[in-house]
Amino acid sequence: MAQASADPLLRAESVRKVYRTGAEEVVALRDIDVAVHDGEFVAVMGPSGSGKTTLLNCLSGLDDITAGRVLLGGHDLHRMSDAERTLDRAKSMGFVFQAFNLIPVFSAVENVELPLLLAGASEADARTRAVETLERVGLGHRVHHRPPELSGGEQQRVTIARALAGRPRLVWADEPTGALDTETAASVMSLLHELHAEGLTLILVTHDPEVGKAAGRLIRMIDGAIVSDEAASPSRA
């Protein structure tokens, strides 16, 4: 894991997000300052409406911000054009969502290789990397199955493979176990811990205290603000 003195992989400085609907303003993020180093596993927790998903969307560049700046590897995400930001996400980030967002008529391997093809990989390289990554997440025997033929846990493993196939510096996960039963969720979290142990930097939004305390670092949010940022419990259920 990176030392505290090293430059962070991700830094947010006074990030503010305001939604405007007519004359009304809703402040979703309130002057967020946070830094994440290579190799960290960070969980973000808070009640519904606290700004967890907005934080993920703004710090990853999926959403614009109202004020402040977000640096990824020293580059200001929100000074990039939309096209530049999209390309940067494809090359440096992976995403895992609660709603798996898989294309139902595509096989597992086709779902994983699609972002690689869109990022400019050759068909042969995309297929090789997709198969290798599916094997890494325990789905080498299911590469040609379509999402409706897979269990919920298997579908989430496909989304994790899709996030990893581009060899990102950072993976964002928004409630990755929220749609899964307890046993399947534990299996998915075990996989994420294995990947983190191999050096993956992971920022995970969750409402589940067991998931949150299993991370190395726990950020708590209330009303769009970070109210605590500390080492999480080392215990793992």
pLDDT in tens, 134-163: 998 999 999 999 999 999 999 999 999 999
Would you state the pLDDT for residue 5? 46
Dump strand ranges (E) for the chain.
10-21, 24-36, 41-45, 67-72, 75-76, 93-97, 170-174, 201-205, 217-222, 225-231
Sheet strand arrangement including 93-97: 93-97, 170-174, 201-205, 41-45, 217-222, 225-231
Per-residue pLDDT at 26 exceeds 80: yes
**Cα 41 from chain centroid (whole Å):** 11
27 class by beta-carbon count within 10 Å (0-12 exposed, 13-18 middle, 19+ buried) = middle
Predicted TM-score (pTM) of the model is 0.87
pLDDT tens digits, one per residue of 68-124: 999 998 889 999 988 888 888 888 899 998 788 899 999 999 999 998 988 888 999
Model confidence at 54, pLDDT cuts 50, 70, 90, reads very high
pLDDT tens digits, one per residue of 162-180: 999 988 889 999 988 887 8
